[in-house]
Amino acid sequence: MKVKWIEVEWGYGFEFIFYTERGDDRYPERFIATDVKGGRITFQRLEPGAAVVDPTLRLDAAQAHEFIQSFLDEAWEKGYRPTKEKRTREKVEKEMERLEDHLEDMRSLVFKMPPLEARKYESDVLIIENKPPLGEYKGHRKAEDE
């Protein structure tokens, strides 16, 4: 079951529409909750292209805010998270991994390069005269060394 809510004009409250869908994207069937009594929800099939006339639930602004907030708090306590937050968190975690890799690359360049006095440049090419132990730094080689 899904829910949409609409703020009523002038901020006087909210209208909530509870609905469910089945079928595929080309031919979905939509069912709107029309009545809630005794813990049971009655659904009515919504014809394709038909507009929803009556919401499932109407609340004034104060009731609506309290309902929404308490529902979100309760869902959070039960371990539910917004779909968009999950995607964002995964994206941030991947970005942090890439950043850590980049920082490690930068550290290896800065901390594993030979001292300045051991470097010399010939036409924008770095030549390492006192080469560090193999594996610490792989600098440019002279053309005749290749």
Q: Is the same domain home to 75 and 86?
A: no
Give the C-alpha separation, 21 to 83, whole Å: 18
Q: Is the same domain home to 64 and 7?
A: yes
Domain residue limits at 135? 114-146
Tell me which of 80, 102, 122 is where a domain ends.
80
Q: Is the same domain home to 67 and 34?
A: yes
**First CA to last CA distance, the chain:** 67
Share of the chain above pLDDT 70, in %: 74
pTM of the model: 0.49
Domain count, the chain: 3
**Cβ contacts of residue 13 below 8 Å, gap of 6+?**
7, 58, 59, 60, 61, 63, 64
Residue 10 Ramachandran class (φ > 0 left, ψ -120 to 50 alpha, else beta)? left
Strands (E), the chain: 2-7, 13-22, 29-37, 40-46, 57-60, 119-122, 125-128
Q: Is the same domain home to 105 and 71?
A: no
Look at 99 and 128; give whichever has higher pLDDT.
99
**Cβ contacts of residue 108 below 8 Å, gap of 6+?**
137
Look at 143 and 92; give whichever has higher pLDDT.
92
Dump pLDDT digits (tens) for 20-41. Answer: 888 777 777 888 888 878 888 8
Q: Is the same domain home to 120 and 53?
A: no
Q: What is the pLDDT of residue 146?
A: 45
Q: Is the same domain home to 86 and 132?
A: no
Dump pLDDT digits (tens) for 59-102. Answer: 888 888 899 999 999 999 998 888 776 667 778 888 889 989 88
Share of the chain above pLDDT 90, in %: 7
Considering the chain, what is the average pLDDT of its residues? 77
